Structure 1
Amino acid sequence: MKKVLFPLVLILMLVISACSNNSSEKKDSAKKEEPKTFTYESETGPVEVPSNPKRVILLSGFTGNVLSLGVNVVGVDVWSKNNPTFTEEMKDIAEVSDENLEKIIELNPDLIIGLSNIKNLDKLKEIAPTVTYTWGKLDYLSQHVEIGKLLNKEKEAQAWVDDFKARSEKAGEEIRAKIGEDATVTVFEAYDKQLYVFGNNWARGTEILYQAMNLKMPEKVKEMALKDGYYAVSAEVLPEYAGDYVIISKYAGADIAFQKTNTYKNIPAVKNNHVYEMEGNGASFSDPVTLDKQLEFFKKSFLGE
Structure 2
Amino acid sequence: MKKLFLPILLLLLALSLAACGNAKEETDEKNANEEVTNEETVSETRTYDSEAGPVEVPTNPQRVIVLATYTGNVLALDVPLVGVDAWSKMNPRYELEGIEEVTDESLEKIIELEPDLIIGLSTMKNVDKLKEIAPVVTYTYGKLDYLTQHLEIAKLLNKEEEAQNWIDDFKKRSAEAGEQIKAKIGEDATVSVIENFDKELYVFGDNWARGTEILYQEMKLNMPEKVKEMALEPGFYSLSLEVLPEFAGDYLIVSKGAETETSFMESETFKNIPAVKNNQMYSVNSNEFYFNDPITLEFQLQFFIDSFLGN
3-state secondary structure, aligned to 2:96: coil
Distance in 2 (CA, whole Å) between partners of 1:208 and 1:249 is 15
3-state secondary structure, aligned to 1:181: coil
Give 2:178's aligned amino acid: G
Distance in 1 (CA, whole Å) between partners of 2:261 and 2:88 is 23
- Residue pair 1:192, 1:253 contacting (<8 A) in 2 also: no
The Cα of 1:260 is off from its aligned counterpart by 1.6
Distance in 1 (CA, whole Å) between partners of 2:267 and 2:249 is 18
The aligned residue for residue 163 of structure 2 is 157
The Cα of 1:169 is off from its aligned counterpart by 0.6
Distance in 1 (CA, whole Å) between partners of 2:123 and 2:244 is 33
Distance in 2 (CA, whole Å) between partners of 1:268 and 1:129 is 52
- Any stretches of 5+ residues in structure 2 without a counterpart? 1-29
Give 1:286's aligned amino acid: N
Which among 255, 258, 261 is matched to residue 264 of structure 2?
A: 258
The aligned residue for residue 104 of structure 2 is 98
Which among 103, 106, 122 is matched to residue 116 of structure 1?
A: 122
Distance in 1 (CA, whole Å) between partners of 2:273 and 2:141 is 34
Query: What count of residue pairs does the alignment treat as equivalent?
Result: 277
- Residue pair 1:192, 1:251 contacting (<8 A) in 2 also: no
Distance in 2 (CA, whole Å) between partners of 1:265 and 1:102 is 50
The Cα of 1:82 is off from its aligned counterpart by 1.6
Alignment map for 1:211-250 (pairs within 5 Å): 211-250=217-256
Alignment map for 1:73-88 (pairs within 5 Å): 73-86=81-94
Q: Cα deviation per residue 1:207-234 (whole Å; 9 max; x = unaligned)?
A: 0000000000000001111111111111
Give 2:200's aligned amino acid: Q
The Cα of 1:249 is off from its aligned counterpart by 0.3
3-state secondary structure, aligned to 1:282: helix
Q: Cα deviation per residue 1:147-201 (whole Å; 9 max; x = unaligned)?
A: 0000000001111111110111110010001001100000010223211100000
- Residue pair 1:247, 1:276 contacting (<8 A) in 2 also: yes
Distance in 2 (CA, whole Å) between partners of 1:119 and 1:280 is 26
The aligned residue for residue 66 of structure 1 is 74
Distance in 2 (CA, whole Å) between partners of 1:257 and 1:101 is 40
3-state secondary structure, aligned to 1:112: strand
Distance in 2 (CA, whole Å) between partners of 1:68 and 1:100 is 25
The aligned residue for residue 132 of structure 1 is 138
Q: Cα deviation per residue 1:229-266 (whole Å; 9 max; x = unaligned)?
A: 11111111111011100000012222222222222111
TM-score where L is the length of structure 1 = 0.87
- Any stretches of 5+ residues in structure 1 without a counterpart? 1-24
Distance in 2 (CA, whole Å) between partners of 1:64 and 1:246 is 26
Distance in 2 (CA, whole Å) between partners of 1:245 and 1:185 is 5
3-state secondary structure, aligned to 1:104: helix
The aligned residue for residue 207 of structure 1 is 213
- Residue pair 1:200, 1:229 contacting (<8 A) in 2 also: yes
Q: Cα deviation per residue 1:264-285 (whole Å; 9 max; x = unaligned)?
A: 1111111110000000123211
The aligned residue for residue 46 of structure 2 is 38
3-state secondary structure, aligned to 1:247: strand
3-state secondary structure, aligned to 1:201: coil
The aligned residue for residue 3 of structure 2 is none
Distance in 2 (CA, whole Å) between partners of 1:211 and 1:159 is 19
Among the aligned pairs, what percent are the same residue? 66
Give 1:140's aligned amino acid: Y
Distance in 2 (CA, whole Å) between partners of 1:108 and 1:259 is 47
TM-score where L is the length of structure 2 = 0.86
Distance in 2 (CA, whole Å) between partners of 1:301 and 1:38 is 45
Give 1:151's aligned amino acid: L
The aligned residue for residue 167 of structure 1 is 173
